[in-house]
Amino acid sequence: HDFVSRMRLFVTNEVPAFQKFKKTKLEITEQLKNDLKLEEFKPRVLTSFVRNKLIDQVYFPIFGNNLAKQLGTVGANKRTDRMGMLLLISPPGYGKTTLMEYIANRLGLIFVKINGPAIGHEVTNVDPASANNSAAREELKKLNLAFE
């Protein structure tokens, strides 16, 4: 009977107190998010750029399906004959990352950035356990997501 009375006390006192704590914690978290304006730091794709309009209205109708297949879209129409990964090569600052962020956004894909220099020249395979530092290990974990 001691267990039943302790359980009843727990249900009537502790559970409501915990639920009130969770609600208060959520309210404080939301208030802090608003105060810190965290939404302003999220990357947003600017659809007003002329380049982006050109991509939407001209290039996507021409190569969009093929690009989606290369990037591995999912869903009912997922193709099993994906052609592989897409590699963009150009000097730093030419907009490769911005372009791919925009395209991924338009295709509804998740875009994962991989920092090649963090991986380094010493890495000879894609196993994160073989990386010689934590930065390379984290980048290899992200890279492995592409192979799954």
> Over the stretch 82-132, which tens digit does the pLDDT of each residue have?
545 667 788 888 888 887 787 777 777 777 788 888 888 888 888 988 888
Check whether residue 80 and residue 140 sit in a common domain. yes
Tell me how many helices (H) and strands (E) the chain has: 7, 0
Check whether residue 70 and residue 12 sit in a common domain. no
- Residues 141, 118: Cα–Cα separation, whole Å: 12
Check whether residue 119 and residue 69 sit in a common domain. yes
Nearest 5°: phi and psi at 9?
-65, -40
Both tokens of 140, joined, read 């290899």
> Is residue 47 within 8 Å of 106, Cβ to Cβ?
no
Check whether residue 56 and residue 34 sit in a common domain. no
> Is residue 123 within 8 Å of 136, Cβ to Cβ?
yes
On the CB side of 40, CA atoms within 13 Å amount to 5
pLDDT at 25: 95
Residues of the chain with pLDDT > 70, as a percent, come to: 74
Check whether residue 61 and residue 25 sit in a common domain. no
Check whether residue 36 and residue 77 sit in a common domain. no
Q: Coil, helix or strand for 128?
A: helix
Range of the domain at 23: 2-41
113 versus 52: the higher-pLDDT residue is: 113
The separation between the first and the last C-alpha atoms of the chain, rounded to the nearest angstrom, is: 54
Predicted model pTM: 0.46
